[in-house]
Chains A and B, each alone.
Chain A
Amino acid sequence: MAPEQYDVTAAVVGLARTLRAAGVAASPDRVHATVDALHRLDAHSRSDVYWAGRLTLCASVHDIARYDRVFDAYFGDRPAALVRRPSAPAAQLRLVAATSDDSAPVDDDGDEAAPMAAAASATEVLRHRDIATLTAADRFVLARLLAAFALPGERRVTRRLTPATTGAVDRRRTIARLMHAGGETAELARQERRRRPRRVVLLVDISGSMSAYADALLRFAHAASHRLRAPSTEVFTLGTRLTRVTREMAHRDVDASLLAVTEAIPDWSGGTRLGELLKRFLDEWGQRGMARGAVVVVLSDGWERGDVSLLGEQMARLHRLAHRVVWANPRAGRPGFAPLAAGMAAALPHVDDFVSGHSLAALEHLAAMVAGARRREPSGVMSHA
């Protein structure tokens, strides 16, 4: 079609490879779709290539910013004619070799991609943080936490129906039974609303003041993510930034999980602006539905660097959305503790349960509470485990 040909497939594969290095999961079937899309568009128009790639390779709004960066780096500012490769036929024959080690045009792209990938990994190494592998004692702790989570969890009534012995008549099943009996009157089938455990959202503070507890709390979060019969547990970390680590927590092995979490968190042991991050959480996730009707647990010492009134305001907002708000403060277990941190004081009026989280027993108690054990203490009273 165009006078000068370039190898669309090679260009797309190279783009996808660069994207993967930048953290966008551009899987092979997506790449396939990109090539397909480009065949239906003008492969020599920068805008068409941009949109074909973006529509097929990105999976969420977070991918788009990365895509934009990679796209610009990969294609440079070559305007309409993107990457016109003079040596089309030969390159097509040995595509794999060309994209991997040929020093000709294709490798340019690798060079352009390299600084970004290198920069990203360097910063990650800087912020990387050792997580000791589990000792036997730790495993014991974990087992106990998991056991504590084995309770059914606080439940809510869903819209899904399930067969039951009492309740409304299940028209569908009753008539199916009738038909089965050749139209003779059969026993009425009944159904009721199914109950499911409520969603649990954990907000784990990993700022500097919490560093002594971060490991234990993340393990706790891992145990919570793997509680029995639970539909969903969402985990976020609060540092200088809000990071969603639900996906990283999904690994069954706790070490592998925590390693993934460590890699995902860019801001270990920084300062926290709880109010701002909480607002971030509510804006981006909570109000859209994640916090609605959920049990939200904040694991933090309430040490707020920013504006305390903002924290109070956002806690009030969270309280209106969530079914129950639990605040676990590791420092609350110390004798003579009073919630003096200004942030804590601002948050307390909007918390249903305030518990400590400094010891295994305290975490067990928290786990039991999250998992729906009857509340024993009225709000505001600390448990001494």
Chain B
Amino acid sequence: MITNKGWGENGGVDVTTPDRLRELMTGQGYLADDGVATAAYLAISMRRPLFLEGDAGVGKTALAQALAGLLDAPLIRLQCYEGIDAAQALYDWDFPRQLLHLRAAEAAHRSDNAEALEGELYSRRFLIARPLLQAIETNPSVLLVDEVDRADDEFEAFLLEVLSDFTVTVPELGTIRAEVPPVVVVTSNRTREVHDALKRRCLYHWVDHPTFEREVAIVRARYPEASESLASSVTAAVQRLRSADLLKPPGVAETLDWTQALLALGAQTLDADTATRTLGAVLKYREDHERIARSGLGDVVEAAVGGA
């Protein structure tokens, strides 16, 4: 398994064409369209990070999970937030344990051999691997850098360094290199522009809302117990809401939540009453509720059920 070719090092999984990858993803319950399948295929094949943007809830994170599933590789997730730094993303020394070790060495009167002691203190076993280092050390692995736009720009520069050559240099230890670079998925919700230098290292894909047929298929794949008519009327209603000029248009995640909510109530069809009771699964703003109430939720549901 130790080669630097990268290709074929997918945990024994044979990914030779985008179509083959799509089949494997379907097996993981992720229904990919042409764009996503090609993007994921190239990300694996070229070992380039895949930079995903798109509205919240279109399945960016789910894609990374599906890739991890089909490659049978652990998914290592780095959730970005403001103020995240190297000690939280890359590695940190386990100071308390180092100190204990030092005390123990002193108690055993070994402190005269300072050099050996120092070597022990700064060895790999006192190094705590954070997600980025974990991904570099784990082969194969899928690294998900989630919501990179939430981190501040200092962090971006640092991430760029790690993602461009997949090596980590620990001054006290030396350089740790990935035998095979992990498959990397970077997601962004576009709360700010991510720097060009980072994007240039990546394949860029904008994830769109799925088409009606695909979304119905996604619902059916996730909740096989939902009837065909329930799945298609829920999807039709959500797609209608999506075009209704809302503060937060519902994503696929909301379609799934809504279906789940309806199933929990034992509903086999969508009607105005159950829709009103479960609307909180789809719309997350008071203004959106008011807008839909004004324009008549009943009409939306009726049109959705009729059209589906």
Contact = CB atoms under 8 A, between A and B. Distances in A.
B199 A59 contact: yes
Nearest to B149: A289
A250 to B, nearest CB: 12
Interface in B136-193: 149-150, 152-153, 189-193
Interface stretch (A69-77, A171-179, A335-343): A171-179
B46 A40 contact: yes
A55 B83 contact: no
B39 A51 contact: yes
A30 interface: yes
B83 A290 contact: no
B269 interface: no
B81 A40 contact: no
A27 B200 contact: yes
B60 interface: no
Contact of B81 (A25, A33, A159, A172): A159
A47 interface: yes
A29 B99 CA distance: 48
Contacts of A60: 53, 193, 199, 204
Interface in B223-276: 247
Contact of A58 (B83, B96, B204): B204
B42 interface: yes
Given A51-B39, A179-B121, A56 B203 contact: yes
Contact of B99 (A54, A55, A183, A283): A183
- Interface size class for chain B? 35 or more
Interface in B50-80: 53
A182 interface: yes
Given A59-B196, A287-B247, A289-B149, A175 B98 contact: yes
A52 interface: yes
B38 A52 contact: yes
A130 B1 CA distance: 64
A374 interface: no
A176 B93 CA distance: 10
Contacts of B82: 158-160
Given A47-B34, A55-B38, A183-B99, A288 B191 contact: yes
B220 interface: no
A171 B204 contact: no
A160 to B, nearest CB: 4
A85 to B, nearest CB: 24
B287 to A, nearest CB: 8
A104 interface: no
Contacts of B153: 231
Contacts of A33: 46, 48, 203
A290 B200 CA distance: 23
A292 B190 CA distance: 13
A366 to B, nearest CB: 24
A54 B41 CA distance: 14
A41 B106 contact: no
B302 interface: no
Interface in A1-60: 25, 27, 29-30, 33, 36-37, 40-41, 47-48, 51-52, 54-56, 58-60
A136 interface: no
B191 A55 contact: no
A25 B196 CA distance: 10
Interface of A: 25, 27, 29-30, 33, 36-37, 40-41, 47-48, 51-52, 54-56, 58-61, 64, 158-161, 171-172, 175-176, 178-179, 182-183, 231-232, 283, 287-290, 317
Interface of B: 18, 34-35, 38-39, 41-42, 45-46, 48, 53, 81-85, 87, 92, 95-96, 98-99, 102-103, 106, 111, 121, 149-150, 152-153, 189-193, 196, 199-200, 203-206, 247
- A-B pairs with the 10 shortest C-beta distances? A289-B191, A159-B83, A175-B95, A51-B38, A160-B83, A288-B191, A55-B203, A61-B206, A40-B45, A59-B199
17 contacts: A25-B196, A27-B200, A33-B46, A41-B38, A52-B42, A58-B204, A60-B53, A61-B190, A175-B95, A175-B96, A179-B99, A183-B102, A288-B189, A288-B191, A289-B189, A289-B192, A290-B191
